[in-house]
Structure 1
């Protein structure tokens, strides 16, 4: 059993891989032999599909080899060794009949991916001749898995999991010439959609099948290319993402979820891995903002019936009710640890502002005394300059959050521009709720900070966008939040600022990956130092998982503003295509053709091929965590050179996954809508007839079980008194797109007089979708 499954309370992901794609591992479960033969150390461990079962290289003989019979003839050009230790040199030979030909001899690449010119083979032999050593000392030397891949003359990169039925569906065929035909085929090889390639991209967005698949894309040029299998379903990507996203946040907490021994001091919080509530999180992972945003955007997705609790929550001062959603328990986990630790760092204070603002929506589960403690703690320290509890990789600044910050963080992501805007706006609302006389001071701070960004940020300078790495999303989230919540009080040119960000992003995404580049002549962030640092390497390449996974946030924030204020649907829709494409990039539509998670096949539904390797050790200790996004494509592989260059540093990080979770929140909000319909009809209702009955339809990512007809609940709000009722809706069919119900004004728990407006809504705060109608 995979090591993730051993530690998981609930196994949340299933593999739906197929062996049809050219880039599938052709060595798995094949016959294997070698030398020396040791019964207790079977060679089959390297082809069993599980990199935890390892073949240990014996010390007794100098030359050791292992040979995999591929059960057929293939043109092979790649061998990947997974979960290995102590192997520094290797020789690879290709067997045709009884003849062995050397195809590689040398040191082990960092990626553990060995590439060579395509060669016809029936078997692959790996030889190990040198005395195995680790850090100069004899130690266990082993290989967990050997994967062998065939040459791809016509590569076809898709989202390995698949696509949402109503969303963009694009793939990349980087070697196909314009006009090359493609077809989408089902499991019977029947053609269900066809089209042509343009600039390396195939688009089948108009294919909206009722049958989920599997499907494949085939591209016929000089050679036939066939993609990995994928599925097309309503809200497939939410179903494939929510569970690993939440599992990651549960698995990566400090003390593995048991805070019994939490003893914070001035020196540190006691989490031994460079974090406060999450391992290796530092102070700039923004856990509370992203968890609260995810809950705001799609609260019922995290109900206990849809997402059962799977982790420990020990050592906290409050025992929350049994029905508390786990995402709310995670929120309280951070709040309790921050308050007990008396955090005073700029960014940690800002996180607590999200909690006190959101608490009324969480009060069903988190007691008022927690809110009161947070309010009493937070207001007195908001303007204090001290920030000693706690920080890592910080830059010199004052923690006084009333000031206008004129400094930007580096590519480390530790100080993104505009981070204080939303917290100040939230504190403004909390101050009014608490009848404080200083409420306006918070609004003024947010206003001045926003105005400074509008005037001083140059979107053409990548230091303000992709150069912020995983935390670029913070800036656009803040600007759009201000505009959504205070459209009449926002600084001038705010909508235009969001639109101008989009202009630069669209320009830099004009490529066959729909991928927003760092600059015109650079694909990835080259260095995490400041560009004016003498040591800045303009030609480098850094791990930027979070920037790619988090890209839907700025893209959809800008799309909303453009649609509302510019009425430019074409521009907004291009941003939506780019947002989807960046998640596709994470899920395999990239030059390496790999999902960004090393354990993708185990942790993500439908994934076929995970990242090259995972980081061994590290401050986050992520090897046993589920849903880790480990590595991203580096500069040498773009635009398409999948075996060229080292894929660079690979290491998951809480800050990468939190950016992705915020993207999930924005994507949920973007596809959520609610409307009134005529009873038993799809026609939009303009008013409630005197009989008092009207249909309600909700589109939201709540179809998380494709085999079950699920329920959803929306709020009905009296337009005059503000009274609230709950209305149950039912999924239309099984694995459906929307939820339907009927509102009868005479059955509401409050009276509705003729002429009274009623509002139905789903979601919370700035992510609330609503519709209003009048009872005739």
Structure 2
């Protein structure tokens, strides 16, 4: 059902500590050493500010000494980057002072200090803590409450020291898999001087196919759009890039099936493992803020024909076939038709788990609004009972303020779960509370409820309007907590702006478009660097310190392209397109580590040569056997160009990373979809569809397009791919004496009637109109 199990690099942590493990052609050695000496010490309470440095100088003859004025006393060490800490030793000197009775060790997570050790003193001279499980952190604080002075001679932190990666990186860093025809195509050569020439060579013919010059360490070959299935390499001086392809919809070709297979395999209970995992509902380690359902629905609505034709691998799994501990975890919804596309089956699964377990968190309720909105486009495969059950449940709990413990986790920062309420609290780098998360769900419920009970619908619109108005007036785009600081959830905010603007252009709050323009200018300015990479702030910070921000990079194109749909300025639209695609390139190897974000990328993704340093055994998500896992990304310390740091910081795949990428796939499809009628002669018209359909030059694709007359008559026309490398599918129509003739069909029309053709569904629908004259 799924791709083969992923290659393993180590069986347990002990193997890592004791020796060397191999990552393909990579050898990375590990050892225990005192990492504290590389860090920076600070304190809140000291007799002499200069003596803080003595706490981690490696010298037992010097010491940090607190004053005796404040009761709370602490000293902390900040490491250069996140490290897997295994042991902490603190050398003390209490003579002649009397020690306090207890102490605490704390680590900095999600914006606050958290205790991981609290113990009584057993010795006046030293403290030694061995952690049962390595802890990833870059901050550790020693804290005591005492009316006396505290003397710390050494604050030693031991952990896994990573040797620099021994893999020889390419000097030319590209999207290793390939580029889309007609879209931005750029590479980075961080060590190459300006105005150096580069050549793109066809590896089959060995002929030069394109020439250009490097500017600010970037080579741009956007205008190179060959109709060929050959591979190419970039040559700069004596250096060569990895080979790559260029195709009509190359990214979609290598991603669509993989993206759906990942979601299928990551399902809780019925995916690649039956194990019941903590912090999990529909997906293992999915938590309550994974945005999975809305992403899957957006994918389908944006490009329905592409997802319909993907391979069908999923079969329904009845809850009754499991032991009693699984009772009630799913099964409240009647099953789908077996003919449903896999993406629809996964949507059904997600909804079924939420309804079966009666999940009440504001994010979980909000996700179900996307299902009710999309149901008319899914009812071909889903029973009416599915809609009725969800509608009744959701309208009853939408304004429910509290939440049962089984619907939330320790990461919950919501102040209340009433989705009519104004949401002014923002989350942290964890990604759990992005601004505007209630806007689209309320607008969708407005449309859903309006169909059944118009008098009850307005309150949903009013809630969305009030929320959007607050965002326009209060969000500061210069503050990263409103943007990159929301991590993989950032796309939620800008998508809300775009949805309101595009669906309700005459009802949107004043200043919406101006607010989006301000966001765009900040994002473009922060992306003016050799990686075309949007930085964390306007200053030196490239990414949040200490975080695996993989999902933020993968989800940023959704935010950028959502903003593009609001923008009229041609130059800003072009810049948004550049940075949307540059972040996809970043995840495919155009980054300081030169690696694709997936450890198994070379085995699972066409054209990828060098995957992420490692994957993780186990974890809450148990994602190792699942295909297309995004394991890690460059850390803040890797930028602007420090590949020699190697595999620093946290590495672990997360469902939230893939769902961010899913959202980007949806907005890429919408951005690349266009449909229009072109009059080619006095009595001839061509219907032309541009959409991400043509994945293979070996097959001729076709799509049935729905046409509707202004009098309500409906019929279908088949649009066929123009050529092996074409982005367009077309159909020819002949107009003759109030008749429309195409593909052995004749439709009688009257003068003045309008024909409408469309592709995409719901808020992603694109239309073209033609009037019979």
- Normalised by the length of structure 1, the TM-score is 0.76
Cα distance, 1:147–1:234 mapped onto 2, change above 3 Å: farther
Q: Check the 8 A contact 1:706/1:734 in 2, yes or no.
A: yes
Alpha-carbon distance in structure 2 between the residues aligned to 1:746 and 1:151: 62
Alpha-carbon distance in structure 1 between the residues aligned to 2:722 and 2:310: 17
Q: Check the 8 A contact 1:677/1:697 in 2, yes or no.
A: yes
- Cα deviation, 1:392-433, whole Å, max 9, x if unaligned, reads 210141111111111111111111110000000011111111
User: How many angstroms does 1:335 deviate by?
Assistant: 1.1
1:81 pairs, out of 27, 33, 57, with 27
Moved more, 187-196 or 294-303: 187-196
| Match in the other structure for 2:579 | 578
Cα distance, 1:384–1:674 mapped onto 2, change above 3 Å: same
| Match in the other structure for 1:555 | 560
Alpha-carbon distance in structure 2 between the residues aligned to 1:435 and 1:378: 14
Q: Check the 8 A contact 1:513/1:589 in 2, yes or no.
A: yes
1:309 pairs, out of 309, 313, 333, with 313
Cα distance, 1:229–1:296 mapped onto 2, change above 3 Å: same
- Cα deviation, 1:267-310, whole Å, max 9, x if unaligned, reads xxx9423111001011000111100100010001111x433335
Aligned length: 626
1:201 to 2:218 alignment? yes
Alpha-carbon distance in structure 2 between the residues aligned to 1:473 and 1:65: 39
| Match in the other structure for 1:232 | 246
1:244 to 2:258 alignment? yes
1:448 pairs, out of 437, 444, 466, with 466
| Match in the other structure for 2:398 | 382
| Match in the other structure for 2:758 | 761
Cα distance, 1:274–1:53 mapped onto 2, change above 3 Å: closer
1:411 to 2:429 alignment? yes
Mapping 1:611-760, distance limit 5 Å: 611-644=612-645, 647-678=648-679, 683=680, 693-718=684-709, 720-743=710-733, 745-746=740-741, 751-760=748-757
1:609 to 2:607 alignment? no
1:272 to 2:277 alignment? yes
Alpha-carbon distance in structure 2 between the residues aligned to 1:370 and 1:4: 27
Cα distance, 1:608–1:407 mapped onto 2, change above 3 Å: same
User: How many angstroms does 1:212 deviate by?
Assistant: 2.5
User: How many angstroms does 1:65 deviate by?
Assistant: 10
Moved more, 359-368 or 723-732: 723-732
| Match in the other structure for 1:775 | 772
Q: Check the 8 A contact 1:522/1:635 in 2, yes or no.
A: no
Q: Check the 8 A contact 2:489/2:660 in 1, yes or no.
A: yes
Q: Check the 8 A contact 1:480/1:557 in 2, yes or no.
A: yes
Q: Secondary structure, in 3 states, of the residue corresponding to 1:349?
A: helix
Q: Check the 8 A contact 2:248/2:695 in 1, yes or no.
A: no
| Match in the other structure for 1:41 | none
Q: Secondary structure, in 3 states, of the residue corresponding to 1:717?
A: strand
Q: Check the 8 A contact 1:257/1:313 in 2, yes or no.
A: no
Cα distance, 1:418–1:723 mapped onto 2, change above 3 Å: farther
Cα distance, 1:66–1:463 mapped onto 2, change above 3 Å: closer
Cα distance, 1:212–1:432 mapped onto 2, change above 3 Å: same
- Cα deviation, 1:175-211, whole Å, max 9, x if unaligned, reads 1111011010011431110010000100001011011
1:358 to 2:374 alignment? yes
User: How many angstroms does 1:742 deviate by?
Assistant: 2.4
Q: Secondary structure, in 3 states, of the residue corresponding to 2:768?
A: strand
| Match in the other structure for 2:118 | none
Q: Check the 8 A contact 1:723/1:750 in 2, yes or no.
A: no
Alpha-carbon distance in structure 2 between the residues aligned to 1:740 and 1:157: 37
Q: Check the 8 A contact 2:604/2:628 in 1, yes or no.
A: yes
Alpha-carbon distance in structure 1 between the residues aligned to 2:296 and 2:2: 23
Alpha-carbon distance in structure 2 between the residues aligned to 1:717 and 1:332: 30
Q: Check the 8 A contact 2:201/2:209 in 1, yes or no.
A: yes
| Match in the other structure for 1:531 | none
Mapping 1:35-54, distance limit 5 Å: 51-52=7-8
1:544 to 2:535 alignment? no
2:389 pairs, out of 366, 373, 378, with 373
Q: Check the 8 A contact 1:110/1:646 in 2, yes or no.
A: no
1:512 to 2:530 alignment? yes
Cα distance, 1:53–1:642 mapped onto 2, change above 3 Å: closer
Alpha-carbon distance in structure 2 between the residues aligned to 1:498 and 1:670: 17
- Cα deviation, 1:348-394, whole Å, max 9, x if unaligned, reads 11011111111011111111111011111111111110222411210
Cα distance, 1:205–1:64 mapped onto 2, change above 3 Å: closer
- Cα deviation, 1:317-373, whole Å, max 9, x if unaligned, reads 433223211101111111111111111110011011111111011111111111011
Gaps of 5+ in 1: 8-49, 69-77, 91-108, 112-133, 137-145, 262-269, 527-539
Cα distance, 1:524–1:647 mapped onto 2, change above 3 Å: farther
Cα distance, 1:313–1:225 mapped onto 2, change above 3 Å: farther
Alpha-carbon distance in structure 1 between the residues aligned to 2:32 and 2:442: 56
| Match in the other structure for 1:105 | none
Q: Check the 8 A contact 1:209/1:232 in 2, yes or no.
A: yes
Cα distance, 1:212–1:438 mapped onto 2, change above 3 Å: same
| Match in the other structure for 1:6 | 4
Q: Secondary structure, in 3 states, of the residue corresponding to 1:643?
A: helix
Alpha-carbon distance in structure 1 between the residues aligned to 2:246 and 2:174: 12
1:482 pairs, out of 478, 500, 522, with 500
- Cα deviation, 1:39-92, whole Å, max 9, x if unaligned, reads xxxxxxxxxxx9459999xx9xxx999999xxxxxxxxx97238x9xx7589xx
| Match in the other structure for 2:96 | none
Q: Secondary structure, in 3 states, of the residue corresponding to 1:628?
A: coil
Higher strand share: 2
- Normalised by the length of structure 2, the TM-score is 0.76
Cα distance, 1:67–1:645 mapped onto 2, change above 3 Å: closer
User: How many angstroms does 1:695 deviate by?
Assistant: 1.4
Alpha-carbon distance in structure 1 between the residues aligned to 2:759 and 2:261: 25
| Match in the other structure for 2:235 | 218
1:421 to 2:448 alignment? no
